[in-house]
Structure 1
């Protein structure tokens, strides 16, 4: 268990114990897609055990949202609709109209849905009620927000929002590369993306390429800002920070792990190590970005 991507949310006044959270999640577990459904969402076991919906270690909790989604390409639906349109034209003796074609497409969709392939996916979230974090392991903002929305439907009293900082990540990263002092816990790594403030399509990417001051100055003077930057925290974790305060490619560096006797012990050990590291990284990162916006 090790998150690769972090979507950061703030929670306040969390009062649920693991058993209480388990009871709430059990009311909205993942159900198989019905024949005429495109997608189904629900809670599934996050850990090695196949029954528990909440994995808890001390006060730290891990949950997982499962999804079933039917794969039905538009090209397949359109092809079937064309076939049905040809049949309809032959029967009625004149071409189908726009409204009729829309109805034919809907009928083709309903005909094909029960035969569509189903893809299953799983997303994890770590809940830290002590420091007030919910961290969703996803590289996609929309998918993370779907997770958060499902959690809000499951726990209507939950106070949950994306975290905001006083400095935008783009402005802070641009300053750091331009010579401003970097917070002591962090070092700059060699992957960067500069993007034009005026034309979002104009960008320059560097991979494994340490930038010299002249290159940075040239990009900044040309109206570009840093939208992605690889960084290292305390020589323990490497990651890429982006303009939306997403952490990607999170990697544990040279920390010695004790061998585990079973898969369950390894899962537990990894979860403990991850949460202990992130409980230190996240406050340092928020401080480096000027602190959290209090609303």
Structure 2
């Protein structure tokens, strides 16, 4: 239940969708087993697992949705080997090399033949929807996966105007400043022990783990015109994370005090109540963390200001 990663998005002109209506439209796009010729499929699952029939849980304006991504695993090496065998067989039979077009046709046929035999990998991708703040956060390891879930939500609702959350001060600039100057750090921010440094010319990336980020070694590296593209931080002693230069929050770890607060709640051994208790505590922590980050990074940038910045830097 507890998110490991977070990609944040701002909703614009957010649709007002009653919970009952949302349940209905999510059910229409529910996950279904892959057909023999399906390479992948994405649909909505139930956050409470197989024994639950609810596609959305809402607690105090926070909504929890779960996408189910299924994908057949067909290694390129297996396909290549089968193609080579069939091409070799055809060329021996016809006494000469095959044209490229026929080789491509063989490759497509091999793919179709092998696809039904491939293993299926399933992945759950949770989505947090803060209806009060018009904010969406997706627990995905990559922006690509997060965008896939947003596309599914857009298809489900019919329309969805959303942009990646952005700040007036670029994270790379703020993170570098926090490393350079300890006095620039907010009072409720603490540095962790990991950092990624990169030169503006992209000549190389330096990654350091389990190091004192206030050490002379890190200071020396920063003096060489390097900038921090990833930085381990702790927010108000409640959550630690790796902040990326695109504002992605990775390697989320919630403090023991937050986990203990959830465990002390009396759920009566009800799995759904336990899910919702954990979810609301996590959602409130993430909402507070997001607001602090926005404040530390100069406030939120509007889509117009993002376009202006892009035109200046391009």
TM-score relative to the length of structure 2: 0.89
* Distance (whole Å) between structure 2 residues aligned to residue 50 and residue 78 of structure 1: 42
Which one is further off, 133-142 or 51-60? 51-60
* Partner residue, 1:20: 21
Deviation (angstroms), 1:103: 1.1
Deviation (angstroms), 1:213: 5.6
SS in 1 for 2:256: coil
Task: Determine whether 1:251 maps to 2:253.
Answer: yes
Deviation (angstroms), 1:199: 2.3
* Distance (whole Å) between structure 2 residues aligned to residue 206 and residue 23 of structure 1: 48
Q: Could you give the per-residue CA deviations for residues 55-87 of structure 1, whole angstroms, max 9, x where no partner exists?
A: 122321100111111111111111111111122
Contact 1:31–1:42 (CA under 8 A) maintained in structure 2: yes
Structure 2: gaps spanning 5 or more residues: 304-314
* Distance (whole Å) between structure 2 residues aligned to residue 77 and residue 204 of structure 1: 37
* Partner residue, 1:8: 8
Contact 1:178–1:216 (CA under 8 A) maintained in structure 2: no
Matches within 5 A, 1:250-269: 250-255=252-257, 256-257=260-261, 258=264, 260-262=267-269, 263-269=271-277
Aligned residues: 294
Contact 1:62–1:124 (CA under 8 A) maintained in structure 2: yes
Matches within 5 A, 1:158-169: 158-169=160-171
Which one is further off, 152-161 or 60-69? 152-161
Matches within 5 A, 1:69-148: 69-148=71-150
SS in 2 for 1:107: helix
* Distance (whole Å) between structure 1 residues aligned to residue 32 and residue 299 of structure 2: 41
* Distance (whole Å) between structure 1 residues aligned to residue 233 and residue 154 of structure 2: 32
* Distance (whole Å) between structure 2 residues aligned to residue 162 and residue 205 of structure 1: 26
Structure 1: gaps spanning 5 or more residues: none
Contact 1:231–1:239 (CA under 8 A) maintained in structure 2: yes
Q: Could you give the per-residue CA deviations for residues 150-170 of structure 1, whole angstroms, max 9, x where no partner exists?
A: 111212232211111111111
C-alpha root-mean-square deviation of aligned residues, in Å?
Answer: 1.6
Q: Could you give the per-residue CA deviations for residues 141-191 of structure 1, whole angstroms, max 9, x where no partner exists?
A: 111111111111212232211111111111100011110511222111221
More helix by share: 2
* Distance (whole Å) between structure 2 residues aligned to residue 36 and residue 205 of structure 1: 42
